[in-house]
Structures are given as C-alpha cells and as structure tokens.
Amino acid sequence: MDTIQLIGIGASIGTGLSLLPQLIKISKERKAENVSIPMLGVLFAGLVLWIVYGFLKEDWIIIVSNAVSLVLNICIVVLSIRYKQ
C-alpha cells in the first residue's frame, strides 16, 4: 500500500465518520429542530454522485467511504423527520 492510498483511506475515514456526531446528538436528544433537511438532500445527491464516480473509476476507497457517509446521512434524515417538532 502506497502513501497515496493511505491518504485516501485516512480521508475516507474522516469524511465517512464526520456525520456520526450529528447522528448521535439527534439520537440522544430526540430533537432535530436545527437540522437542515435541504442541506442533507444536497449532501445526499453529492454522495450518490461520488459513489457512481467511484464505480466508474473502479476505486473502492471512494465507493466504500461515500457509501458509509450515505448510510449515516440517510439515518440523520430519517431521525430528523421523526424528531422535528
């Protein structure tokens, strides 16, 4: 594994887990008043495009990291809709 791949893996872990604190906060507080659904929608579209790009480039780092982010994003949207007051 070369330096470029290690940087890609590190970046993918960082971006993949970036939504986790928001998901945990919504789950614990059961509140989502300040979460922007339109912003998450734009992020969702971007993640889908990154996954498609990863498949076209046959780059599993891009595919897996963005798929993880997409799943976390979907969970945030579901909880946000559920806990919006």
CATH number at residue 8: 1.20.1280.290
**DSSP tag of 1:** -
Task: Find the DSSP H helices in the chain.
Answer: 3-17, 20-29, 37-57, 60-83
Residues 6+ apart with CB under 8 A from 44: 70, 73, 74, 77
From the CB of residue 48, how many other CB atoms can be counted at a distance below 10 Å?
Answer: 14
Q: 27 lies in which domain range?
A: 3-83
Task: Please tell me the total count of domains within the chain.
Answer: 1
Quote the pLDDT of residue 47: 94
Whole-angstrom Cα Rg for the chain: 14
pLDDT at position 5, please? 87
The predicted structure's pLDDT at residue 85:
66
Residues in the chain with pLDDT values less than 70:
85
